[in-house]
């Protein structure tokens, strides 16, 4: 009598996408799955997603949820997100955000803040997807310009911070199309695949306090304006990020273009601070095309000037 081993059990990861109407959650999930597993497209007066939805595809459980900024179904949306977070298992949390006039939409930041505040864990790794970035602004983001530094700092102006950020340009095949599916940029697929995961036991998830949403959003909008209009505040926030986590050196430490062109957004002391923090460290960039290592000594940084010796 032969004994056959039990079939291999393949664990399923939860990919939970959170974002407000217009951020492109459902469309992005469909593109990742390679099929229209969720209804997506234009919707006027609110989002298409009205409840917690889940589909399993290639051992990944994709989770789509309604947006907290949808005023018509806010309480329902909060309950749906709480339900999604209580499914147990390993989660990858992806928050979808938008840019408007060089600012991060405050409702999108409020969603991150309120959702993560409902999870009683000391460490909650998560990722941010900046979707539908217009061509000119996307170019600046890829050049790691001063605008890039500002946007990353604005995203991390809230209590919960992450170095895991990716930018997706407007994709013509998806623009204003219903249930559209297309191939995503390679770096986006890699970002999703390599995003950090976290175990979330159901009992650590508390009901989302949706009554705080409007107040949190307005507060964050005001704080963004302060950061953009006060270089000292921007400098202080950047310094806090660098001091609290070396992960941010992956973003800030190797910004050749930013250091060379950032005079419009960084004070001399801020530039010096970057150089001093970088001393003795090897910094890697997040853009795969910029992954050649640069040593901190390649930069000679002094107040009032920026000199780079590497070609």
Instruction: Report yes or no: 145 and 176 within 8 Å, Cβ to Cβ.
Output: no
295 occurs within a structural domain: yes
Q: Which long-range contacts (CB under 8 A, 24 or more apart) does 191-197 make?
A: 191/127, 191/129, 191/164, 191/166, 192/15, 192/32, 192/92, 192/94, 195/92, 195/94, 195/127, 195/164, 196/92, 196/125, 196/126, 196/127, 196/164, 197/13, 197/90, 197/91, 197/92, 197/125
Query: Is the same domain home to 170 and 62?
Result: yes
What are the backbone dihedrals phi and psi of residue 129, each rounded to the nearest 5 degrees, phi first? -115, 115
CB 169 within 8 A of CB 135: yes
pLDDT at residue number 117: 96
What global pTM score does this model have? 0.77
Q: Is residue 154 located within the same domain as residue 248?
A: no
User: What number of other Cβ atoms are within 10 A of residue 173's Cβ?
Assistant: 10
Determine, yes or no, domain membership for 188: yes
Domain count, the chain: 2
Residue 226 lies in a domain: no
**Does the pLDDT of residue 297 top 70, yes or no?**
no
Give the model's pLDDT for residue 174.
55
Q: Answer with the residue of higher pLDDT: 180 or 30.
A: 30
Task: Give residue-wise pLDDT tens across range 119-145.
Answer: 999 999 999 999 999 989 999 888 877
> Does residue 4 belong to any structural domain of this protein?
no
The answer on 274 and 206 residing in a single domain is: no
Strand partners, 90: 199
- The answer on 243 and 118 residing in a single domain is no
The whole-number pLDDT of residue 199 equals 95
Long-range contact set of residues 226-232: C-beta below 8 Å, sequence gap at least 24: 227/153, 227/154, 227/157, 228/102, 228/103, 228/150, 228/154, 231/265, 231/266, 231/267, 231/270, 232/267
Q: What is the mean pLDDT of the segment spanning 76-85?
A: 94
In a domain? residue 225: no
Q: Give residue 291's domain range.
A: 231-308
pLDDT digits (tens, 9 = 90+) for 3-28: 444 444 446 789 999 999 888 888 88
Q: Which two tokens stand for residue 29?
A: 């999930």
């Amino acid at each position: 009598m032969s004994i056959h081993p039990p079939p291999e059990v393949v664990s399923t990861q939860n990919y939970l996408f959170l974002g407000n109407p217009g951020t492109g959650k459902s469309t992005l999930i469909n593109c990742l799955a390679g099929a229209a597993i969720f209804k997506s497209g234009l919707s006027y007066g609110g989002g298409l997603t009205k409840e917690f939805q889940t589909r399993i595809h290639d051992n990944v459980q994709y989770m789509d949820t309604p947006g907290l900024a949808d005023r018509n179904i806010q309480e329902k949306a909060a309950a749906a997100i709480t339900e999604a977070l209580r499914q147990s298992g390993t989660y990858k949390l992806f928050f979808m955000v938008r840019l408007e006039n060089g600012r991060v939409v405050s409702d999108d930041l409020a969603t991150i803040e309120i959702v993560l505040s409902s999870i009683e864990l000391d460490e909650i790794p998560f990722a941010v997807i900046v979707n539908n970035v217009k061509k000119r602004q996307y170019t600046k983001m890829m050049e790691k310009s001063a605008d890039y530094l500002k946007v990353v700092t604005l995203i991390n102006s809230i209590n919960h911070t992450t170095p895991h950020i990716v930018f997706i340009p407007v994709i013509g095949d998806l623009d204003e199309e219903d249930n559209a599916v297309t191939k995503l940029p390679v770096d986006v697929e890699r970002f999703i695949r390599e995003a950090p995961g976290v175990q979330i036991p159901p009992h650590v998830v508390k009901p989302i306090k949706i009554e705080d949403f409007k107040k949190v959003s307005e507060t964050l909008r005001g704080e963004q304006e302060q950061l953009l209009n006060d270089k000292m505040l921007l400098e202080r926030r950047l310094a806090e990020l660098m001091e609290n986590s070396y992960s941010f050196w992956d973003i800030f430490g190797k910004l050749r273009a930013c250091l060379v062109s950032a005079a419009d957004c960084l004070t001399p002391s801020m530039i010096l601070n970057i150089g001093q923090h970088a001393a003795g460290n090897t910094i890697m960039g997040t853009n795969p095309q910029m992954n050649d290592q640069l040593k901190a000594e390649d930069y000679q940084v002094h107040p009032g000037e920026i000199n780079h010796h590497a070609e």
